[in-house]
A and B are shown apart, each in its own frame.
Chain A
Amino acid sequence: MTNPAERRKLEPWQDPKAAPYVRIDHVTKKFGDVYAVDDVSLDIFQGEFFSLLGSSGCGKSTLLRMLAGLERPSAGRIYIDGADVTDIPAYSRPVNMMFQSYALFPHMTVEQNVEFGLKQDRMPRKERAERVGEMLALLQISELRRRKPDQLSGGQRQRVALARTLAKHPKLLLLDEPLGALDKRLRESAQFELVNLQERIGITFVTVTHDQEEAMTMSTRIAVMNAGQILQVDTPTAIYEYPEYRFVADFIGLVNLFDGRVMETQDDQVLIESSLGRRLHMRDLHPHAIGTPVTVAIRPEKMQICSTYQENGINQVKGVVEDIAYLGDVSIYRVRVSPEMLVEMTLTNVHPRTEQALTWGQEVAMEWSPTSGVVLTE
């Protein structure tokens, strides 16, 4: 284990004394009568790769545009590196943004696109040329310098857009769905490249995405947004393993949700009478009072085939395999446990598909351990 001081450096949000690099303070944005962003407060620290995750229309892009200065908050303040930038227009902020469409200027070459921001700063010609060369080399697009944007592939355009936003050495880089316009294969390699780049240049990144996998792979922390509000801010692991809301559990990955009521509690152990008609034994980090209606969330890969099934067994459930989704490395089995409930279980395909033990229509018993899920109330 790393010592606490080192850990604090890696995870500044754990350190109560660390000063946030970006502070969003009770920011609200209304369009007419609609709240796009509703009283959001958020601290982002230097060197983070921070993701705003949510479905379309949840307000994540509006929040990003407010950081860039392209949208003015209806209420609240925004601080970057300690300075209040709420009233500073986009062209004077030490922040650059990469647009979802990349927004490359079609009438300029790659070189001129990258140079554009430097020209606005009246940087001398010689320095400008040097910086452009550096950026093109950094993103390995030097040989494209004389091309126009319509002569580039999607991946090349993304690199040009990145070079252009990085050229001014911004304190903060904002990325709106940075990989959204790429096809799946390219996206995966671009994810790793983006993270490597961020670690190399050490700039704070804030990205917006609706793709949970992308957010999980790249981010130091994720803020999950819904209906203009931030539900949970945490590391990818914590978001996945310890969601605090049903919405978060459901939005990230697959999850089985069992409704129930607290029967007994002892320390952090809790016994729940579930709607399945059986008792569930879970560890509950935020103990709830007896009688509280709760939801137990269990990820499909935490489900195991049970060899010691009992009719009233705790954390056990039995059903019939209804659907199998074969994904190559794993298969997802959808098991009908009651007329109105399907339970999903993921198993690694250790053996070739044809030799799998489970098949359609087969009866299967499943179980899970008390520490492999969370108990939620909202």
Chain B
Amino acid sequence: MNRSRWKLYLFLAVGLAFLYIPVLLLVIYSFNESRLVTVWSGFSTKWYGELLHNRQLLDAAWLSVRIAATNATFAVILGTLAANALVRHGNFRGRTGFQLLLTAPLVMPEVITGLSLLLLFVTMEHTVGWPAGRGFTTITIAHITFSTAFVAVVVRSRLSQMDRSLEEAAMDLGARPLRVYMSITLPLIAPALLSGWLLAFTLSLDDLVISSFVAGPGSTTLPMVVYSSVRMGVSPQINALASIVVLIVSVAVLVAGLLSMRQQPTAKAN
């Protein structure tokens, strides 16, 4: 029995190594002194220092964060409304169609989404004059279209697990429907809203394909900068930047995990 347990740990180690050694290498090489990314010549934090003076990279990072946050907020609002419609309004006419359309962006090839959105934006600019040019607005709208689908899936599962009689009890005690939603439903699905927001945020932050289609001059997101600079030859600054992103994402995932773990017992209690 001890033997087989030892083997299980080995499998686990191999699996984790496969997934995370590349990331680990990236972090290690971000402290490399050499200008050549693949040659180790000593420890240094100078690339982090240089990163702070790279306006192009910082601007792109700031743009990406702004897009991601706006996108996540709108996606949570729309996704929650969609999940409510699906879980709470029974078999309304066109429910199946709505469900299909809502989940389509999850499986749609990004190239198609990107291209179709580009066509839409160009046509709209010609006919109604909005959105003028392409940049922050168009990228955000594009991201909202697919993030909403992800948020809807997350919120929907939480909503359908929720005990209906909690809302009925609140109504029975004199709360009107809007009040019931604000004081009972929302607090109980809050963990799903938060994880939906984080999911939408990260999806937006690392999207390259769709952003490339709908971005305009002067609105280059972080993944686009990284991608184009890699083609020119990688600067160790990219390693430093990537390490920072890895750090932020890890913390966010950890916080989301802790929050949902703390919510677990109350989610089941009645």
Give residues in A with beta carbon < 8 Å to B: 68-70, 89-92, 95-97, 99-107, 116-117, 120-121, 148-150, 164-165, 168
Give residues in B with beta carbon < 8 Å to A: 163, 165-166, 168-176, 179, 183-184, 187-188, 265-267, 269-270
Nearest opposing residue in chain A for B184, CB measure: A105
* A116–B172 touching, CB < 8 Å: no
Residues of chain B within 8 A of A90, CB atoms compared: 168, 171-172
* B265–A164 touching, CB < 8 Å: no
Q: Would you list 22 pairs from A and B whose C-beta atoms are within 8 A, ordered by A residue?
A: A90-B172, A91-B174, A91-B175, A91-B176, A96-B172, A99-B165, A101-B163, A101-B165, A103-B163, A103-B169, A103-B270, A105-B166, A105-B170, A106-B267, A106-B269, A107-B266, A121-B174, A148-B266, A150-B265, A150-B266, A164-B173, A165-B172
Residues of chain B within 8 A of A91, CB atoms compared: 171-176
Q: Distance in Å from the Cβ of B47 to the closest Cβ of chain A? A: 46
* A149–B174 touching, CB < 8 Å: no
Tell me the bound Cα distance from A148 to B169 in angstroms.
Answer: 17
* A107–B173 touching, CB < 8 Å: no
Q: Distance in Å from the Cβ of A67 to the closest Cβ of chain B? A: 11
Residues of chain A within 8 A of B175, CB atoms compared: 91, 116, 120
Tell me the bound Cα distance from A78 to B20 in angstroms.
Answer: 66
* B266–A106 touching, CB < 8 Å: yes
- Tell me the dominant secondary structure on chain B's binding face: helix
Tell me the bound Cα distance from A311 to B151 in angstroms.
Answer: 81
* A101–B168 touching, CB < 8 Å: no
* A70–B188 touching, CB < 8 Å: no
Q: How many A-B residue pairs have CB under 8 A?
A: 74
* B170–A106 touching, CB < 8 Å: no
* In the A-B complex, the 4 residue pairs with the closest CB atoms: A120-B174, A117-B173, A103-B169, A150-B269
Nearest opposing residue in chain A for B175, CB measure: A120
Select B270's contact among A104, A107, A148, beta carbons within 8 Å.
A104
* B173–A96 touching, CB < 8 Å: yes
* B173–A168 touching, CB < 8 Å: yes
Contacts A106-B166, A117-B174, A164-B169 supplied; 13 other A-B pairs, CB < 8 Å? A89-B171, A91-B173, A91-B176, A96-B173, A101-B165, A102-B270, A103-B168, A107-B188, A116-B170, A116-B183, A120-B173, A150-B265, A150-B269
Tell me the bound Cα distance from A25 to B268 in angstroms.
Answer: 39
Nearest opposing residue in chain B for A93, CB measure: B172
